[in-house]
């Protein structure tokens, strides 16, 4: 898939089939994430892979998007690694680039995903559930699966709304 076509046809997918996603596929998605750019190449990300239904249920209780969490085959929790962090804004941007790499890779593999941010209101509780480290901070959960729904056309404002100036 051409990169520009991939960027334009990627949509958030919120309904998934029961078909499992292979571990090698999850590894490929994470590999795409770690090849994102980062300030000073500090690579300030960590990932957690969640497949257990019991854990998914506990996480689902912490978000209004519980159906998405329960319906996804795999959740990839993306963390900011404080031990590698040097500048909060730049590190958060690097994690965002990492997540977009992962979303585009997921799309190119014919899978579907949605970036879940609302759950960050309970990021400490999620962390308690999934790992004991206090040196990481939850930045997003990516719900991944085989798409049950088609992506749709998407909706964006015209470029004229986005371009502040051309000099
Ligand atoms: C930082 C961030 C947080 C988001 N949080 C959620 C979320 O909690 N739940 C959800 O369903 N979608 C979430 N989304 C997905 C957006 O709703 C979606 O990207 C946007 O509506 C554009 O649609 P598209 O991805 O299909 O192009 C989030 C996206 C971003 C970038």
- Compute, in angstroms, the gap from residue 167 CA to the centroid of ligand 1: 32
Residue by residue, pLDDT tens for the chain (167 residues) are 899 999 999 999 999 999 999 999 999 999 999 999 999 999 999 999 999 999 999 999 999 999 999 999 999 999 999 999 999 999 999 999 999 999 999 999 999 999 999 999 999 999 999 998 889 999 999 999 999 988 889 999 999 999 999 99
The residue whose CA has the least distance to atom 29 of ligand 1 is 115
Q: How many CB atoms lie within 10 A of CB 15?
A: 14
Read off the pLDDT of residues 75-84 as tens digits, 9 standing for 90 and up.
999 999 999 9
CA distance 123 to 137: 7
CA distances from residue 47 to 19, 74, 126, 130, 142 in whole angstroms, order as listed: 22, 12, 13, 11, 10
How far from chain centre, in Å, is Cα 21? 15
CA distance 57 to 28: 26
Ligand 1 closest atom vs CA 14:
11
How far from chain centre, in Å, is Cα 101? 9
Left (φ > 0), alpha (ψ -120 to 50) or beta: where does 152 sit? left
Read off the pLDDT of residues 71-112 as tens digits, 9 standing for 90 and up.
999 999 999 999 999 999 999 999 999 999 999 999 999 999
- Compute, in angstroms, the gap from residue 15 CA to the centroid of ligand 1: 14
């Amino acid at each position: 898939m051409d990169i520009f076509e991939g960027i334009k046809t990627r949509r958030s997918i919120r309904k998934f089939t029961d078909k499992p996603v292979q571990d090698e596929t999850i590894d490929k998605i994470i590999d795409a994430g770690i090849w994102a750019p980062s300030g000073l190449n500090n690579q300030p990300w960590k990932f957690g892979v969640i497949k257990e239904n019991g854990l998914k249920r506990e996480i689902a209780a912490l978000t209004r998007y519980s159906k998405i969490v329960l319906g996804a085959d795999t959740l990839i929790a993306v963390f900011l690694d404080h031990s590698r962090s040097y500048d909060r804004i730049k590190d958060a941007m690097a994690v965002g680039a990492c997540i977009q790499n992962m979303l585009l890779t997921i799309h190119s593999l014919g899978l579907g995903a949605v970036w879940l941010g609302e759950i960050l209101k309970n990021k400490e509780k999620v962390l308690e559930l999934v790992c004991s480290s206090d040196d990481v901070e939850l930045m997003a959960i990516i719900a991944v699966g085989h798409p049950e729904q088609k992506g749709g056309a998407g909706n964006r404002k015209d470029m004229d709304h986005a371009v502040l100036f051309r000099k």
